[in-house]
Amino acid sequence: MTPPTRRSYRVAIVGGGIVGLFTAYHLLRAGAGPVVVLERGFLSSGASGRNGGGVRQQWDTRATVRLMREAVGAWKRFGREFGTNVWFRQGGYLFLATTPDEVGRLHKVTEAVRAEGLDGRLLDATDVPRHAPALSLDGVLGATFLRTDGTLYPFPGVWGVYEAVRALGGEVCLGVEVTGVRIEGGRAVGLTTSAGPVDATTVVNAAGGWSADVSRLAGLAVPNVASRHEILATEPLKPFLDPMVIRLSDGLYFSQTMRGEVVGGLAVPHPTGTRAGVPTSVAFLGSMSRSLVRLVPALAPVGVLRAWSGYYDDTPDGFPVIGEDPRLPGFVHANGFSGHGFMLSPASSKRVAKAVMGEPTDLDPAQFSPGRFLDPHRAATPEGLQPG
Amino acid sequence: MDPAPDPRPGAGAPGPDLRSLRTRSTRYHRPRAPFCGVGYCTNCLVRVNGVPNVRACRTPFAPTDRVEVENAWPSSRFDLLAAFDVVFPHGIDTLRGFRRPAFARGFYQRVVRRLAGTGALPTPTRPVGTAPARTIETDVVIVGAGTAGRACAGAVVGAGGRPVVLEREPGAAAVDGAEVVVGTTAVFLPPPVLGRPFPFQLIASAPGGSATEVHARRVVVAVGGYDASLWFAGSDRPGVLTADGAERMHPAKRPGFHRAVVFGGGPRALEMLNRFPEHVDAVVAPGTIDPDVSRRASELDIPLYPRTLVLGALGRSRVERVRLTRRGGSSPTFEIPVDAVVLAHRRLPHAQLFFQAGARMAWRPDVGAYSPAIGACGETSVPGLFAAGEPAGAARPDDAVRSGEVAGAAVVAGGPSPSLPVAPAPEGRHELEGYYQEWLAAGPGPGKVVVCPCEDVLLPELLDATDRGYRGIEVIKRYTGLGTGLCQGRYCLPDALFVLAARERRPVPEVGYITQRPPVVPTSLGALAGLPEPGGPPP
Ligand SMILES: Cc1cc2nc3c(=O)[nH]c(=O)nc-3n(C[C@H](O)[C@H](O)[C@H](O)COP(=O)(O)OP(=O)(O)OC[C@H]3O[C@@H](n4cnc5c(N)ncnc54)[C@H](O)[C@@H]3O)c2cc1C
């Protein structure tokens, strides 16, 4: 355990995943004052150490495309700004549609992508092999491809930002659990933790799959729901697949990492076992293998090396929650990232830092603010492209 | 442990002779030779009929099989890509290197990507599809038909039961009254769903074949153990192998070595002396040497080196000398010429299935490993799950028989409620704790110390991680990639625990648990795809 060294901080961040760490980084860069990140597990024990490393700009809402476009720039620069190499490889994202309805959805996505000045392409099934020769085209009606999407290796991202936070004088306390949110005069004024109380002018809830619990500690009801997602990796193979591939019909996603492993899952929440640890199920191993082998028959003899799972933090409309809670001044949300918090984190955390500093952000409140769930009339249309 | 039959590599069996097979490592293309002989390490992977990463040591070959070496060009004996090993004496830093200049990113990625990975995408000569799994329902399933498993099966049959026994080896003998399923490895045992007629669902698979799904009321895991590795410079060099490997791959009369050093001072070392009396030149042990080992060695006129550090296995394409130094600091180093190093110092229980099932695990300083916490009858903290044999702490065959019989009787009787009051965890420190402390102080070298042979992770990467303040096995694993390769950490994480304990100056259990993710061994997507759909008929 690394306990906090001071009693009082400008900002106390709950959760030392990529979101909490990046938020701390941007706050320190902006000269916010003393910042502490409180993480109950080890570094990368949450979703930030359990994800598929996908980074895409193909979304059906332009605001998300814009945010992700900025994030892609940040991931490209990451190695030069931070001491570690995330191996962000722009092999593209290939979305496969197998029904006319899905083709329609991909149309909408490509429109949004192109409207933001990116080179998204709608493809016929016959164009698919050019981007991913190993795929069976059985049932594929159409596809989209964006060359500048890609994949990265999440761990060095966590290490790099962690080291940068510490180099800037921030504290990252590992093995310290937040057990309560202290409220005085209707304001969040600090936390109670397993290492004692800390005071903070602002508290940030970056607790990922556990964010609803942390909000509850502050007496706030939120619609965030944790859902368990399973994922697996195969034996490492020599490179044969460049893009991340996603099939809309069953949410199958997979890519080949720099190390050669095929890593992927099914972007459907697993029905059982939320909060029962992070296990693997026989049902997942079966359905994932079936789904993958159907699309890439050559993989049938390849061994599954390991399987694991992690929690998405889902919101009703699929957009993250960024900003101060209107019900509790001093309590800022940076959560609800569903299956894409890693890729978004460099861009979203900049906005979180601004919200902490009380500065305005460019985020549409109807889409991202915590208040949107309090006012049903302001609810935005949900993000349509959830998988991967 | 069972006496292994004499292997007859080459004799009538087509396919590569395991004694002379050479492969190459993933990153640095270091020469490798079969190491473990029991289907876990990466050193005997070959491509067979277009299927990559087939373990030669566990594969029955047919005369028409096309066997190719992977990961080497033009051949595994003369591999031009081995230049990477020479050009990068301190390794390739993929964590912090290759970050500049910006325009070179794509180039670096192509080069590094090509160096990673083991075999290439399958191009099977015969179609490999998905094979529907076989489903078995049974009262009692026993995993492992070794000494303990057979004794357990006998006890269950004696009490009128009819257990199913799963055995990884293809040739296991029948047990009267039991159904023995051979050539099938148990790979996944999720926690039982209590309240279902068959709370346990065990997944097993045959290499290159289909899966088996066993629904059972009770499970006895009697899967034995394996001989551990050891870290030293050149520990990945051909000629270094485990006692398992020596036993499985080398005929007692004509092994592929002539002057081996046996590392270890206990029962396993004695077995090696008895198996290869004319081919052992020295016994080296991390601590004291048992009297019966000393006696046998002096009969055979073999010198003993107790309390000795192995600093390196030197040589070119295989071990030619070992460099040693007595423990206790400031002793001079010395070398002895050998052509093999047989690691016989530590048996580790196979503990994955217990961990998967959610059993409480305990650190055992006497073994230097985690194993399930058990009660007097082998019952674990999971109701209905029992341990027998090495996972239950049995070190010798008669202990294994006894633990099998006791577990068998308890299983039939319905099993005691798992309160686990018995057997307090032994105290003290394992001898390797002090050993590795001194080894680190001695300044490991010469040459590369490959701590994770599957992924070619080097010792300095690990030391650098702890210098930067990363602590605990979970983080170090993710930071260095240690233990994330094909053997899933079997041959590196047990040693990493000791080295990290020394570096972090805290007891081993505080360094963390070695999380073992399913499956137990790589299991083909094709076999898993054949598992029945939940709630539906098999595909
Ligand atoms: C299987 C899977 C695949 C995914 N694939 C992708 C992908 O391809 N691309 C992508 O961008 N995203 C992906 N994601 C999502 C992504 O991983 C997450 O959105 C992102 O990591 C969220 O980061 P975070 O910091 O908010 O959460 P986390 O990394 O989960 O961090 C939250 C931390 O808070 C800590 N915490 C919780 N409660 C407390 C408390 N009371 N006190 C102290 N600490 C506490 C937890 O221990 C945890 O470490 C995937 C997720 C999963 C599970």
The reply to whether residue B478 touches residue A44, judged by beta carbons under 8 angstroms, is yes
Q: Identify how many contiguous H helices and E strands chain B contains and give both numbers.
A: 14, 27
**Which are the contacts of A313, defined by CB distance < 8 A and separation ≥ 6?**
A47, A208, A209, A210, A211, A212, A224, A225, A226, A335, A336, A337, A338, A341
pLDDT at B414: 78
- Encode pLDDT of B258-290 as tens digits: 999 999 999 999 999 999 999 999 999 999 999
Q: Is residue B23 within 8 Å of B76, Cβ to Cβ? A: yes
> Residue B10's pLDDT band (boundaries 50, 70, 90)?
very low
- Residue A84 placed within a domain: no
Of A155, A240, A301, the CB nearest to B51: A301
CATH superfamily of B229-345: FAD/NAD(P)-binding domain (3.50.50.60)
- Residue A241 placed within a domain: yes
The H-or-E segment that residue A105 falls in is: helix A100-115
CA–CA distance, B131 with B270 (Å, rounded to integer):
44
pLDDT at B2: 40
> Residue B7's pLDDT band (boundaries 50, 70, 90)?
low
SS (H, E, C) B101-145: CHHHHHHHHHHHHHHCCCECCCCCCCCCCCCCCEEEEEEEEEECC
CATH number at residue A137: 3.30.9.10
Pick among A1, A21, A43, A75 to test the B interface (most B CBs inside 10 A): A43
Q: Does one domain contain both A199 and A186?
A: yes
- Encode pLDDT of A166-213 as tens digits: 999 999 999 999 999 999 999 999 999 999 999 999 999 999 999 999
Of A77, A155, A163, the CB nearest to B478: A155
Residues of B in contact with A300 (CB under 8 A): 122, 124, 128-130, 524-526, 529
Structural domain that includes position A205 = 8-49+155-224+316-374
Q: Choose the final residue of a domain: A286, A311, A336.
A: A311
- Residue A77 placed within a domain: no
CA–CA distance, A319 with A67 (Å, rounded to integer):
12
pLDDT at B155: 97
CATH number at residue A201: 3.50.50.60
Q: Does one domain contain both A215 and A253?
A: no
Q: Choose the final residue of a domain: A256, A285, A311.
A: A311
Q: Does one domain contain both A240 and A337?
A: no
Closest alpha carbon to A22 in A136, A233, A194, A168: A168
Ligand 1 site, residue A36, Cβ cutoff 6 A: no
Q: Does one domain contain both A300 and A361?
A: no
pLDDT at A379: 59
pLDDT at B539: 32
- Encode pLDDT of A244-268 as tens digits: 999 999 999 999 999 999 999 998 7
Q: Choose the final residue of a domain: A292, A311, A330.
A: A311
pLDDT at B308: 98
What mean pLDDT do residues B347-371 have?
A: 94
Ligand 1 site, residue A34, Cβ cutoff 6 A: no
Q: Does one domain contain both A189 and A307?
A: no
Helix (H, G, I), strand (E, B) or coil at A187: strand
Mean confidence (pLDDT) of chain B: 91
Of B105, B478, B533, the CB nearest to A286: B533
The reply to whether residue A43 touches residue B475, judged by beta carbons under 8 angstroms, is yes
Q: Is residue A255 within 8 Å of A53, Cβ to Cβ? A: yes
Q: Does one domain contain both A348 and A238?
A: no
Pick among B46, B525, B533 to test the A interface (most A CBs inside 10 A): B525
Residues of B in contact with A290 (CB under 8 A): 130, 529, 539
Which has more confidence, B347 or A380? B347
Q: Is residue B303 within 8 Å of B283, Cβ to Cβ? A: yes
Closest alpha carbon to B431 in B497, B331, B498, B511: B498
Provide the whole-model pTM.
0.95
Domain count, chain A: 2
What residue spans define the domains of chain B? 18-116, 135-226+348-413, 229-345, 432-529
Ligand 1 site, residue A253, Cβ cutoff 6 A: no
Which residue's CA lies nearest to atom 21 of ligand 1?
A48
- Encode pLDDT of B161-192 as tens digits: 999 999 999 888 889 999 999 999 999 999 99
User: Min CA distance, B408 vs chain A (Å)?
Assistant: 27
The stretches in chain A having pLDDT less than 50 are: 272-274
Ligand 1 site, residue A264, Cβ cutoff 6 A: no
Residues of A in contact with B119 (CB under 8 A): 235, 237-238
Listing DSSP states for B309-327 in one string gives EEEEEE-SSS--EEEEEES
The reply to whether residue A301 touches residue B109, judged by beta carbons under 8 angstroms, is no
Q: Does one domain contain both A349 and A284?
A: no
| 3-state percent breakdown (helix, strand, coil) of chain A, nearest 5 | 35, 25, 40
Q: Does one domain contain both A231 and A287?
A: yes
CA–CA distance, B129 with A283 (Å, rounded to integer):
19
* Residue B370: Cβ within 10 Å count: 22
Q: Is the peptide bond before B537 cis (omega within 30 degrees of 0)?
A: no
What mean pLDDT do residues B33-37 have?
A: 96
Hey, is the C-beta of A293 within 8 angstroms of any chain B C-beta? yes
- The atom of ligand 1 lying closest to the CA of A39 is 44
**Which are the contacts of B342, defined by CB distance < 8 A and separation ≥ 6?**
B241, B242, B243, B246, B260, B261, B262, B263, B272, B276, B280
Which of A229, A342, A345, A386 has most ligand 1 atoms within 8 Å of CB, for mutation?
A342
Share of chain B above pLDDT 70, in %: 94
Ligand 1 site, residue A17, Cβ cutoff 6 A: yes
Helix (H, G, I), strand (E, B) or coil at B277: coil
- Encode pLDDT of B301-344 as tens digits: 999 999 999 999 999 889 999 999 999 978 899 999 999 999 99
Backbone region of residue A260 per phi and psi (left: phi > 0; alpha: psi in -120 to 50; beta: other values): left
Which residue's CA lies nearest to atom 27 of ligand 1?
A208
Q: Does one domain contain both A144 and A13?
A: no
Q: Does this chain's domain B135-226+348-413 share its CATH topology with B229-345?
A: yes
For B174, the token pair is 């029948």
Residues of B in contact with A285 (CB under 8 A): 188, 203, 518-519, 528, 531
Across B144-231, the runs of DSSP E, i.e. the strands, are 164-166, 179-181, 185-188, 200-205, 211-221, 225-227
- Residue A82 placed within a domain: no
Q: Does one domain contain both A215 and A351?
A: yes
Q: Does one domain contain both A245 and A136?
A: yes
Q: Does one domain contain both A131 and A236?
A: yes
pLDDT at B13: 54
Which of A1, A2, A19 has most ligand 1 atoms within 8 Å of CB, for mutation?
A19
Ligand 1 site, residue A15, Cβ cutoff 6 A: yes
Residues of A in contact with B206 (CB under 8 A): none
> Residue B442's pLDDT band (boundaries 50, 70, 90)?
very high
The reply to whether residue A155 touches residue B109, judged by beta carbons under 8 angstroms, is no
Q: Provide the number of CB pairs (under 8 Å) joining chain A to chain B.
A: 186
CATH class of B432-529: mainly alpha
Ligand 1 site, residue A342, Cβ cutoff 6 A: yes
Closest alpha carbon to A25 in A108, A104, A83: A83
> Residue B131's pLDDT band (boundaries 50, 70, 90)?
confident
Helix (H, G, I), strand (E, B) or coil at B254: coil
CATH 3.30.420.10 fits B135-226+348-413, yes or no: no
Phi/psi of residue A184, nearest 5 degrees: -135, 130
